[in-house]
Amino acid sequence: MSTFQAPKGTYDLIPPNSATYLAVREAISVPLRNSSHGYIETPGFENVELFARGVGESTDIVTKEMYAFETKGGDKLALRPEGTASVLRAALEANLHKGGNLPVKLWYSGSYYRYERPQKGRYRHFSQVGAEAIGAEDPALDAELIILAHQAYRSLGLRDFRILLNSLGDKECRPVYRAALQDFLRGLQLDEDTRRRIEINPLRVLDDKREAVQEQLIGAPMLRDYLCEACKTYHEQVRELLTAAGVAFEDDPKLVRGLDYYTRTTFEFVHDGLGSQSAVGGGGRYDGLSEMIGGPALPSVGWALGVDRTVLALEAEGITLDIPAATAVYAVPLGEEARRVLFGKVTELRRAGVATDFAYGGKGLKNAMKSANRSGARLALVAGERDLAEGVVQLKDLVSGEQTAIALDAVVDEVRRALG
């Protein structure tokens, strides 16, 4: 071990487990790419003001969890704690919304940073794959995104997840509800931090995980009783579309989510095998966000799925993904001449698209065959002086142990045939 370790709250992705992470990112992106989402990549840091305004000054993310810093040049930046504000900023900056083709559908995949108390499923560096549909108000769009996330999880083989669904209302009905909730909350026995929250962001109190708080919330006014007609109709349509698609969900009138920008549809994917870090992904509609960061009115909806927790969910369900072995063919030369010839064959095989590796470092036969087996290869190519003199190499099936001599100049064809 070296003197250095990964910083607190972070971990390295290393083989073989890293292959699962890649496969999860891939699986989540497949339904997105198949539904007209274009790939977007934004910087790992942004002007701190973007998150303060976009995510919300009163959120835990901005007040406690953000890595904010000043550069040598005096710029105030922050490592990105989430993706939506950056993606919307980039879309506005590039005028994607003016192309006359709304919604603008985008997907992303990357690292996010939050200064949190590290525990299983909660890290200071984590990764998300996300999707945003910018500039259209249509319940089918909300439903589409939920259906795509559901499809992604299903394609990974996950079963023990649930979809929680709620509507947060809009700028007509939410303020009325907010005031009613504040009245109710002000009468409760709460600590000072929570009392402050009542004044800044009362809806978040509903989300308090503490038993003592939850007990007092029984009888609290519920947003669904305050939704205006437009929000009610909209929400009903989202629910109907999900039901028609065969995607089961649970109405969760207390689901508020930790970001300020959500309006109307909000949802969370929770997995029952993850203990207290049960949210594997979440999202919702954010009709006011564009204006909050200085853009035009652009009603939008999106989600982000956590890659780390999705991997933990796979483990919890005992699912191992079917990941093809990194190596299909392993070449073992015996002697200098064989080394030269077989190295040439390795290059040829790779150029033909066959995943091939080579016994480097002048290993003896026994050691080289051990490496061949460990590599997960189906086939070994073994050649010594005598084989070369006869113009052949030995093709060994590492599963059956069967060995056949094949012509040197037919290696690529023979290997392909043997691999099926």
Site residues for ligand ATP per CB under 6 A: 82, 114, 116, 121-123, 126, 128, 257-258, 277, 279-282, 304, 306, 308-309
Residue corresponding to tokens 């259906």? 147
Distance of closest approach, residue 98 Cβ to ligand ATP, in angstroms: 29
* Closest residue to ligand ATP: CB criterion: 306
- Kindly tell me which of 267 and 330 has the beta carbon lying closer to ligand ATP: 267
What is the SS3 string spanning 72-113? CCCCEEEECCCCHHHHHHHHHHCCHHHCCCCCEEEEEEEEEE
Tell me whether residue 135 or residue 281 sits nearer to ligand ATP (CB atom). 281
Q: Minimal distance in Å, beta carbon 125 to ligand ATP? A: 8
CA distances for 158 relative to 96, 150, 280, angstroms: 35, 9, 11
Strands 104-113 and 38-39: parallel
Which of residues 13 and 180 has its CB atom nearest to ligand ATP in the complex?
A: 13
Cα 226 from Cα 217, distance rounded (Å)? 17
Q: Is 99 exposed, middle or buried (0-12, 13-18, 19+ CB in 10 A)?
A: exposed
Smallest distance from ligand ATP to CB 260, Å: 12
CB of 310 to ligand ATP, least distance (A): 7
> Minimum CB separation from ligand ATP for residue 267, in Å?
10
CA 416 to chain centre: 35
CA angle (306, 142, 300) in 5-degree steps? 85
Cα 246 from Cα 213, distance rounded (Å) = 35
Please, which residue, 128 or 265, has the CB nearer to ligand ATP? Answer: 128
Nearer to ligand ATP among residue 250 and residue 390 (C-beta): 250
State the minimum distance, in angstroms, from the CB of residue 264 to ligand ATP. Answer: 16
Pick 46 or 308: Cβ nearer ligand ATP? 308
